[in-house]
């Protein structure tokens, strides 16, 4: 029986193809500083991390990869963040060809467009938003790198500005410094633009486009849930991280009050899922790590560069609980009813995500001798495509690296998309069975 190549199957295959190309390129001698080549596993891990816009690394991006290798990583980040099929659709639009039904469906799967008719306009605006956002952040970063960190070297300053702007907007978390962004922990001219880029990229493209074209009163329920949920999580994350680490002598303790506030903001923003770290998470308290675990698992907005189960999923689950506690039969918000299908999708995504993280953590516990807390942190970071680490990534055995590779891929493509791609076909039952209540709780 012949399988139909549906969009939900094409998208994972496209990501796999891009990962394969990236692995081959990074395995070539010119891409790394190692004699001969950097090796297959570092190339594979880095390619998956870049395409899946995660940021976890087993080698030092600043020293292990040559400028050519870093450029390849940057390209993989951009392609992965933009979406393979979305990029193909934009190219079709640029050359004036018709998008077509199949290409439209594929782009819709990748961008989560509300309807097929939205795809063409969405991907065009998406490309404009990406170029403007990344160029604006790079323009802000460039003078600071030029005058303070690159000793007046225009080429180096421009490269650092562009690389970190692209990495930030795509929520990738790759940096060109061995300590990531620890050296900029108290520099608002570097950290604030990166934080803005991370939040903007993590909102989701449909939300950004709607914000640009509609007044707040005309925002859709999805946009409102995403924006309000993001604001609440940013406040909770910033305040919670600051309280947990304010007096920690190995993280925020030595900083000035302004530096602590900036580092707290970074600690609340980056788990959304950027992966830049301005402090050593290996020295962070258990309270800060647990808070970061939760923020990473939730992630950012749908159809954006962020990972996790998504803010809208988390808010819908919270609304289900709230309305159930009130005895409501339906879920209401902003004068609208959330359909039962959306509620089931939210539950499915959340439970599949829990299963993926638990399975990944158990696998890491089996193949390593490390403690539970850093391995749970690593698993969530990989699945939510965050890239934060307590510093154990480079110490993992090859089997542990493979576990993270699988988690990153599943987390980027999406557990539901992967499940649908593996399914032979979808059946629509034309009958139902009698209802019977089950005792819950």
DSSP 8-state symbol, 148: I
| Two structure tokens written together for 258 | 């302004």
Considering the domain boundaries, does residue 107 fall inside one? Answer: no
Measuring CA to CA, which residue among 79, 46, 41 is closest to residue 60? Answer: 46
> Rounded distance, CA 251 to CA 238, Å?
15
Q: In Å, how far are 203, 249, 415 from 273, measured between CA atoms?
A: 11, 26, 17
How much is the pLDDT for 92? 47
Least confident of 112-126, 138-152, 230-244, 339-353: 112-126
Q: Give the mean pLDDT of 178-207.
A: 91
Task: Pick 124 or 3 by higher pLDDT.
Answer: 124
| Two structure tokens written together for 353 | 């995500």
**Model confidence at 4: pLDDT above 60:** no
Least confident of 254-263, 332-341, 394-403: 332-341
- Asked whether 45 and 405 are in contact (CB, 8 A), the reply is yes
DSSP 8-state symbol, 147: I
Beta bridge partners of 245: none
Which range among 103-112, 198-207, 209-218, 383-392 has the greatest average pLDDT? 383-392
**Model confidence at 409: pLDDT above 80:** yes
Quote the domain boundaries for residue 200: 112-422
How much is the pLDDT for 425? 45
Mean confidence (pLDDT) of the chain: 86
Torsion of CA 401, 405, 408, 411, to 10 degrees: -120
Considering the domain boundaries, does residue 257 fall inside one? Answer: yes
Q: Give the mean pLDDT of 307-331.
A: 90
Q: How many CA atoms lie within 13 Å of 139's alpha carbon, on the beta-carbon side?
A: 6
Considering the domain boundaries, does residue 149 fall inside one? Answer: yes
Considering the domain boundaries, does residue 95 fall inside one? Answer: no
**Model confidence at 96: pLDDT above 50:** no
The DSSP line for 254-322 is TS-HHHHHHHHHHHHHGGGTT---SS-GGGS-HHHHHHHHHHHHH-S-TTSS--SS-HHHHHHHHHHHH
Query: What contacts 345, CB < 8 A, 6 or more positions away?
Result: 313, 416
| Tens-place pLDDT, residues 236-249 | 999 999 999 999 99
Considering the domain boundaries, does residue 105 fall inside one? Answer: no
- Asked whether 278 and 265 are in contact (CB, 8 A), the reply is no
Which range among 38-42, 93-97, 115-119 has the greatest average pLDDT? 38-42
Band (94; pLDDT cuts 50, 70, 90): very low
Band (91; pLDDT cuts 50, 70, 90): very low
**Model confidence at 308: pLDDT above 70:** yes
**Model confidence at 419: pLDDT above 80:** no
How much is the pLDDT for 103? 56
| Two structure tokens written together for 187 | 């520099």
Which range among 270-274, 308-312, 376-380 has the greatest average pLDDT? 376-380
Considering the domain boundaries, does residue 320 fall inside one? Answer: yes
Beta bridge partners of 209: none
- Asked whether 82 and 50 are in contact (CB, 8 A), the reply is no
**Model confidence at 89: pLDDT above 60:** no
Q: Quick one: 293 exposed, middle or buried, by C-beta within 10 A (0-12, 13-18, 19+)?
A: buried
Band (17; pLDDT cuts 50, 70, 90): very high
| Tens-place pLDDT, residues 355-370 | 999 999 999 999 999 9
> Rounded distance, CA 61 to CA 76, Å?
14
> Rounded distance, CA 22 to CA 45, Å?
10
Least confident of 39-48, 259-268, 303-312, 428-437: 428-437
Structurally, how many domains does the chain consist of? 1
Measuring CA to CA, which residue among 390, 353, 386 is closest to residue 368? Answer: 390
Q: Give the mean pLDDT of 286-306.
A: 90
**Model confidence at 147: pLDDT above 90:** yes
Considering the domain boundaries, does residue 386 fall inside one? Answer: yes
Considering the domain boundaries, does residue 349 fall inside one? Answer: yes
> Rounded distance, CA 439 to CA 419, Å?
29
Query: What contacts 53, CB < 8 A, 6 or more positions away?
Result: 77, 80, 81, 170, 171, 172, 173, 305, 307, 385, 412
| Two structure tokens written together for 223 | 């946009």
How much is the pLDDT for 189? 96
How much is the pLDDT for 95? 42
- For residue 336, the SS3 value is strand
């Amino acid at each position: 029986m012949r399988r139909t190549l549906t969009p939900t199957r094409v998208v994972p295959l496209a990501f796999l193809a891009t990962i394969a190309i990236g692995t081959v390129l990074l395995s070539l001698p010119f891409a790394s500083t190692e004699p001969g080549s950097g090796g297959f596993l570092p190339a594979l891990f880095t390619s998956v991390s870049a395409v899946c816009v995660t940021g976890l690394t087993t080698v030092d991006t600043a020293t292990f990869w040559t400028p050519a290798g870093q450029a390849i990583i940057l390209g993989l980040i951009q392609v992965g963040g933009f979406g393979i099929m979305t990029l193909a659709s934009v190219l079709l639009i640029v050359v004036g060809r018709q998008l077509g039904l199949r290409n439209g469906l594929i782009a819709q799967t990748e961008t989560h467009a509300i309807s097929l008719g939205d795809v063409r306009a969405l991907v065009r605006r998406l490309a404009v938003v990406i170029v403007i956002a990344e160029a604006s952040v790079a323009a802000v970063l460039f003078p600071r790198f030029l005058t303070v960190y690159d000793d007046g070297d225009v080429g180096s300053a421009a490269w650092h500005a562009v690389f970190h702007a692209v990495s930030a907007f795509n929520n990738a978390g790759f940096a060109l410094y061995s300590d990531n962004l620890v050296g900029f922990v108290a520099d608002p001219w570097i950290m604030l633009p990166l934080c803005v880029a991370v939040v903007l990229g993590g909102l989701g493209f449909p939300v950004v486009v709607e914000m640009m074209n509609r007044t707040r009163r005309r925002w859709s329920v999805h946009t409102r849930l995403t924006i309000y949920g993001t604001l609440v999580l940013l406040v909770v994350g910033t305040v919670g991280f600051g309280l947990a680490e304010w007096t920690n002598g190995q993280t925020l303790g030595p900083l000035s009050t302004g530096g602590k506030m900036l580092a707290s903001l970074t600690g609340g923003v980056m788990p959304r899922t950027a992966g830049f770290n301005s402090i050593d998470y290996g020295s962070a308290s258990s309270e800060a790590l647990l808070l970061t675990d939760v923020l990473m698992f939730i992630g950012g907005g749908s159809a954006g560069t962020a990972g996790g189960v998504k803010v809208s999923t988390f808010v819908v689950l919270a609304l289900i609980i709230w309305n159930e506690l009130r005895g409501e039969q339906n879920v209401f918000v902003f004068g609208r009813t959330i359909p039962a299908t959306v509620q089931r999708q939210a539950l499915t995504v959340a439970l599949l995500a829990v299963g993926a993280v638990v399975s990944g953590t158990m696998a890491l516990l089996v193949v390593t001798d490390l403690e539970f807390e850093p391995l749970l942190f690593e698993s969530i970071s990989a699945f939510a495509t965050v890239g934060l680490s307590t510093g154990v990534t480079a110490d993992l055995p090859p089997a542990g690296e493979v576990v993270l590779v699988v988690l990153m891929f599943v987390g980027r493509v999406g557990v539901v998309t992967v499940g649908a791609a593996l399914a032979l076909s979808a059946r629509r039952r034309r009958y139902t069975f009698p209802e019977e209540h089950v005792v819950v709780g």
